[in-house]
Structures are given as structure tokens and as C-alpha cells.
Structure 1
Amino acid sequence: MNRIIVTRFSAMGDVAMTASVIREFVEQNKNIEIIMVSRGHFADFFKNIPRVQFLEIRPKTTHKGLFGLYRLSRELLRYKPSALVDLHNNLRSRFISLFFKLSNHPVSTLNKRRKEKKSFINGKTSKLLKLPLVTEAYADAFRNLGYTLVLSHQLYKKSNPIPENLKDLFSKGRTFIGIAPFAQHVYKVFPENKMEEVIAQLHKKGHTILLFGGGKEEKQKTEAWSEKYSNTISTIGKYSLSEELDIIANLDVMISMDSSGMHMASLVGTKCVSIWGATHPNLGFLGYGQSLENCVQVEHTSRPSSIYGNKPCDCDGVEAIDLVSPEMVVEKVAEVLLKNK
């Protein structure tokens, strides 16, 4: 067995995409073991992938600062790895990569294509250009070590168990729609009043809606929607990440921004209707195996204006994501449900 160290510390959606690539990598390379280094709460993304061992990085305690990273690097060498694949390419991961290089270990680093992306959003490159998927960039990091990896870009529907307290609900033969209404960056977020209108229209059609993602503030908002719409359930703070993945695996469709909800749906093979504003799927961040046809967006010469959704996108005085209407989202969901039959 060749043992490869893989580093990707954040963000949630990026780590989920990493898991999709690693799953196919180990399937195609039976002589490989992976030591996946990431933050502890992402471990469930990798738990069902064979020959993958998860190692938690603790950047605020054990692995804090240069000495902590040196300690982590020494710890990783105890696994007697044959190489290191850096799928993050930030200061922490570059330090670890340097340590491995000095220890005469092959290192392959993710090419983030920063210049191409900046050129794209600054209008120096045609807006019609489609950059390679980020998952292909991850795959290139493995290929650069001489390994074969052909990504299928297909969803693999999983038959995950339903959490015990939801079994009665899922046994009633309804249509189940998940919604992840929040995102890390504000310019990715579909306005709350419009998202509530989506919920209201889906509720009127008799669908059961499950809401995902967020902290205390988001929990209050989703619980308010749950009280207002009888067949709407907030999952925030009630389930582990593993259980959330199990629930998403049993949905008929997921609704998400350009955010981790989309990538979690990809991990368990659930189709996702994704809503795009300042960012754009042509930048390469479309969920693994997800269809461009299921992206809800309004094309405009100002889009995209942001790689990560942390910058506004002024489309003739309107924020880009405001160009999307609730009806557009509901119609796209109906299309997906019809194709599922």
C-alpha cells in the first residue's frame, strides 16, 4: 500500500468536494491509503470511503503557530507516507508541504488558478469562458504524482438510514425538499423574504420541507418558518453532520445557494437546485455531479463580480441574486421532480 497525506482544512463546501474526488481516487487506485487532514467536524464527509483515515488538525490548540504545524508535520511522517497532496494551498498547508519536501517526500499542490479567476471577474476574459471545475483541479494534484484518475462527474445516490425520529415522517410517501437558505458570504444569500415565498409556494403544493445549516440566529429564523408553515421542519441544532447527510440522501431534491448545502447534496447523490448571484458556476464551483441545467441564475454582463461571494454585483442597480425570483426557483424544482419520476 502507498499511503498519501492529503491536506484540506476549510471551507466546508471545499472539503466536501475533496471527499467526492478522494472517493473516486481510491476506487480507481486499489493500492492507495489516504490520511485525510482537516478540521474535526468534517470527518463525517469521509467516514464511508474505504482506505481513508481521518486526522484532525487543531489550529487553535495542538497545532497552533509554526511550532504546532511542525508538530503536526512530524506526526504525519509517522504514517510513513509515500507523498503529500496539498489541496488547500494556504499558509498552513504550504508550511507542511515545505517540511515534506525537506524530508525528501514528493509533494503535489493544488493549482487554484487565481489569475484566471481574477481575469474572469475583472472582464479581461470573456464571460462566456467556462473555467475547469475545481474538482478537476483537485484531481490534477493526484495526477501530477503519476496516478490515474478519471472523474465521472456523476451523482451516486446513497441509501443512507433515516434518523430514528424522522422515520415516521419519511414513511408517509410525501415529496421531500431540503433547503439550505444561508451561506457564509452575504452576496450569495437569496433574500429572506424571497426564500420564505419559495417555502410558501412549496408548502401550498403539499411538499414536506426540511431546513438546514447555520447557528443560533439562523435557527431562530428557520424555526419561525417551521411554526408558520406546518409541513416545514428545521433541522438546525438537532442533528449531527452525519445525520444531516443521511437526511439529505433521502430527499427528492435540495435547494441551496452556491454554498456547502449543494456540495453536501453531491456527496450523497441528491440533485440540487442551486441559486447564483454574484458568483457563477462557470468559475468551477458547481457541485460535483450536479447539472448546470439546475442552476437558477439571470445572466448579466456584470456577472460574475466575485469569486467567493464576498463582493457585491451591481446589475443595473440591482444586486445579482435579486434578479432571481421565487417563481424561478419553484419552477426549477418542479422540473427536477418531474424528471425524477
Structure 2
Amino acid sequence: MFLEQKVSTITKKEISPKSIEAEHILVIRLSAMGDVAMSVPVIRMVRTMYPDVKITVLTRAFFEPIFDSIDNIALYHADVDGTHKGLLGLSKLSKELRKLGITAVADLHNVLRSNILKKFFRLHKIKVIQIDKGRAEKKALTRTSNKNFKQLKTTHQRYADVFEKLGFPIDLQNHTFPKKVELTPEVLRITQNSTKKWLGIAPFAQYDSKTYPLDLMIAVIEELDKQDMFEVFLFGGGKKEIDIFNNIESKYKNVINVAGKLSFANELKLIGNLDGMISMDSGNGHLAAMYGVPTITLWGVTHPFAGFMPFAQPVEHAILPNLAIYDQIPTSIYGNKYPEGYEKVMHSIQPNTILQKIYAILQ
């Protein structure tokens, strides 16, 4: 099993850290990419406030580069599709983790796998605190009648609450973003050393109900290309998306398809050096925000009130559908449920609205 110490540079504020010897926190967040990315500012803050506490993050191997910007933490890979699959696999994993000398567990996932691990840890008197996902509040927010339409606690704060219950309170308002990382030759070949402002666009999401219509996004890209102020980088994955991006790239001089051309680690280096990102309510927005990149998000049947606004982004960076017409939004937390007639909520967001937001924030 692979265990690697990850060390990089982070700008630290002057603080008076609490010093606790021999404490070793295991942080669990196995998926999904956006949720993993949302844990980064929180863990970064814990690392800054409590430098004497050891931190090991349990996650999938693919997500390891997400944590490269955090100073002095260890990553442990959960092979949930192989060695650590099933009950016996999780039992083996718990033994491997106990050998590291962990003294407490911050479960930021709270799913079946982490609940099973919790039972194994508690048998050995290891304290486990799990995230409160606020399921009842979210159900009230998304129900069709008697909707309780209000801002819920952010996921970032829910993560921070876990550490506070373990005895490590943090104030996310004191968070400091890392310095921009140096670009590798592979990334520089993609960017062509462009001196224009770098704008990322991630136009897809898991569900169509929170994906901006492609023809309207192309209208945005076309106007940006005419302005000749931005180098536009398209982010996504999968053969279908790559084919779409290649077609768009071929038509505009200031558009570069990133999908399928860089390793995930190099893609993150590029994202961290962007001047801005346009994303749906999806993972790429959280990846950009964890570096402090101004991130404009487009929302469909979901809503920032559920707590998934990218980290440290002002509410003005969120562009919403016409809520006077689509007054049942949010219809679900993840965008997988919506009533009849809500299939085209994203069409109520005009391309010019997005363009004006880009110019206001980045120009």
C-alpha cells in the first residue's frame, strides 16, 4: 500500500497554533471529485492552525494531486475496487490504517464504507466524528410544497464542524490560498505561453438539468473569441466531450481543448493558474475555487442554498435561472430530480448575462 509524504509551499498567516503531541488524524473523503476538492481549504486550514498534528487523508489514488497544495500531509490510497473491496477488504484497510498510529478520524464522507470503517476503529477505541450532512434541512429545501427556502450551512463549514468536534476548531475566514504553482513544459505547450487572460470553461455536468445548453455556451465562446481578450480553455472528459471540444476548438482561434491532453496533475496546475473559471454546479468549479480562482457558476435545478457554492466565492458569482418562472428550484440537491416543465430551466439564462459577468469580474 502506498503512503507518501506530500510537501509544498503555502502562505501562512501569523497565528498562535494549538500544539498537541502525538495526535494523528485520519481524514476520510473517498469521492466524488467536487466533494474531495471542497475538503482542501478546510484541511489546509487545519494544517496551518495545528502544525504539530499529523494528518493522513484516505482517498482514491486518482484524487491524490488535488491535495498537492497542502503543506506536509500524507495520502493513503483506498483501493475500494480491489484490495479494499467489500467487508473483508475494509477490515484489511482498517488494520493498515491503525498501523499508522492514527488517534482520531474525521469522516467527511459518511457513507456505507466509512460507516463500516467507523465500527472497526471504535472497536479499538479510536474516536470517529462524522459529517452531519443536514439531510432533513436539504429535504425541506427541495420539497415541492412548504419549501423552506433559506441558505443552509455550507459543505465547507460542515467539514470544519467535524474537526471542531475532534478538538481542532478553525475559522475558514482566516484561510489563505497557496501561491500559484510553476507550470510544467506539458502545460506550457497547451497554453502556448499566451499573454491574454486565461479563462477556463467546463460546460458539462453529471445531469442535463444543470448543464448549460451547448448552443448557448458556443454563443458565449464565439463572442469571447471576437473580443480577443481571453485564451479560453475547455475542461471535461470522455470521448463524446472531447469530440465536441475538438470541433469547437477548430472554429475559434482563442479556444484550446484541454480534455484528454494533460494528466490530471498537470490539468490542476493549469486550473490553478487561470484568471477565471466558468463552471456548472460541478467538480471543476470546486477545483478552481480551491486555488482562489474567481469562479462563475451556472445553476439549473440546484441552488447555492444547499451549501455547494464553491469556496470563498461571493454570491454574485452565481448565475441562476429565472426563479420567478421556475419557483420550485431547487428541486433536488444533485440535479437528478425535477418536475415536468423544468427540463429547460437553463435556457432562461442568456449568453449576454454570462458575458457581462465575465467582463465585470475579469476585465
Whether TM-score is above 0.5 comes out as: yes
**Aligned mate of 1:205, from 227, 236, 252:** 227
Find the aligned partners of 1:42 and 1:73 in 2 and give their Cα distance: 20
Contact 1:157 1:249 in 2 (8 A): no
Contact 2:186 2:266 in 1 (8 A): no
| Secondary structure at 1:152 match in 2 | helix
Instruction: Write the deviation string for residues 270-309 of structure 1: whole angstroms up to 9, x where unpaired.
Output: 1011000100011100011111101111334111101011
Contact 2:45 2:175 in 1 (8 A): no
Contact 1:158 1:249 in 2 (8 A): no
2:10 is aligned to none
Instruction: Write the deviation string for residues 28-70 of structure 1: whole angstroms up to 9, x where unpaired.
Output: 1122111111111100011231231111111111011100010
Q: Following TM superposition, by how much is the alpha carbon of 1:75 offset from its aligned partner in structure 2, in angstroms?
A: 0.6
Q: Following superposition of structure 1 onto structure 2, how do residues 284-323 of structure 1 map, counting pairs within 5 Å?
A: 284-298=307-321, 299=323, 300-312=326-338, 319-323=344-348
Contact 1:304 1:313 in 2 (8 A): no
Q: Following superposition of structure 1 onto structure 2, how do residues 1-341 of structure 1 map, counting pairs within 5 Å?
A: 1-122=22-143, 123-127=145-149, 129-152=150-173, 156=177, 158-167=179-188, 169=191, 171-206=193-228, 207-298=230-321, 299=323, 300-312=326-338, 319-338=344-363
* Pairs aligned (count): 336
Query: Partner letter of residue 316 of structure 2?
Result: E
Find the aligned partners of 1:279 and 1:153 in 2 and give their Cα distance: 28
Query: Partner letter of residue 177 of structure 1?
Result: L
Contact 1:84 1:107 in 2 (8 A): yes
TM-score of the superposition, structure 1-length normalised?
A: 0.94
Identity of aligned residues (%): 35
Taking a change above 3 Å as real, the CA distance of residues 303 and 27 of structure 1, as seen in their structure-2 partners, is: same
2:3 is aligned to none
Find the aligned partners of 1:158 and 1:260 in 2 and give their Cα distance: 21
What stretches of structure 1 of length at least 5 have no aligned partner?
none
| Secondary structure at 1:173 match in 2 | coil
TM-score of the superposition, structure 2-length normalised?
A: 0.89
Query: Partner letter of residue 148 of structure 2?
Result: S
Contact 2:41 2:175 in 1 (8 A): no
Q: Following TM superposition, by how much is the alpha carbon of 1:19 offset from its aligned partner in structure 2, in angstroms?
A: 1.5
| Secondary structure at 2:172 match in 1 | coil
Contact 1:3 1:33 in 2 (8 A): yes
| Secondary structure at 1:307 match in 2 | coil
Taking a change above 3 Å as real, the CA distance of residues 183 and 232 of structure 1, as seen in their structure-2 partners, is: same
Q: Following TM superposition, by how much is the alpha carbon of 1:318 offset from its aligned partner in structure 2, in angstroms?
A: 5.7
Q: CA RMSD in A?
A: 1.7
| Secondary structure at 2:54 match in 1 | strand
Contact 1:29 1:148 in 2 (8 A): no
Taking a change above 3 Å as real, the CA distance of residues 165 and 26 of structure 1, as seen in their structure-2 partners, is: closer
Query: Partner letter of residue 284 of structure 1?
Result: G
Contact 1:155 1:290 in 2 (8 A): no
Contact 1:277 1:322 in 2 (8 A): no
Instruction: Write the deviation string for residues 175-226 of structure 1: whole angstroms up to 9, x where unpaired.
Output: 2110011112221111111111111111111121001121111111111100
